[in-house]
A and B are shown apart, each in its own frame.
Chain A
């Protein structure tokens, strides 16, 4: 079955620095979604990527879908304390159209 790996599992970032989290699939994807879960909260949808090589931006967040549609990345510039939380990718398998969540990247920020 499909495996979705997110790396790193934990990311400790100095406020103001940039970082990237990655989502890798063993199979080709139809689309990929990103969610953010604040501490004590529930996952909230951020964005969906559908096209090969697609890049979308939301303020300081840049989302990219790989050319082969097997991986995705989330890059955050100038990290702020409001970026604290766990970021999940959810990958839709193009073969069986099943959706699988990654284990998440938990981000902490040092002020």
Chain B
């Protein structure tokens, strides 16, 4: 069974801090995703990676960066945390039928509820 593990379930940080959210998957999936989930807005894609060191901006990349140095690990970085980045962050992974394709089901982690004070 696919396992996507996010490093923290809950996290509290202060405005201006640099925040790292980590995600690890154990199914050798090519694709990994970072979403944020806010009430009434569904899942909004922050960044997507289709291979090691490869990334694409999603719908809301401002204020975020990502790192994928190993296939199984995808990190989300908040360069200087702000209160409007308080949210639930979900990591997901999926297999790929072709480089960059996102047509396969995604497997989600349990999420990190991040509060910025």
Contacts and interface: CB of A to CB of B under 8 A. Distances in A.
Is B truly associated with A? yes
Interface of A: 6, 9, 30-31, 33, 35, 41-45, 48, 88, 90, 92, 97-104
Contacts, number: 48
Contacts of B45: 99-101
Contacts of B13: none
Q: Classify the interface of chain A: helix, strand, loop or mixed.
A: strand
Interface string B27-38: 000000001000
Interface of B: 35, 40-45, 59, 90, 92, 100-103, 105-111
A66 B96 CA distance: 25
Given A30-B103, A31-B103, A97-B101, A103 B108 contact: no
Contacts of B103: 30-31, 92, 97, 99
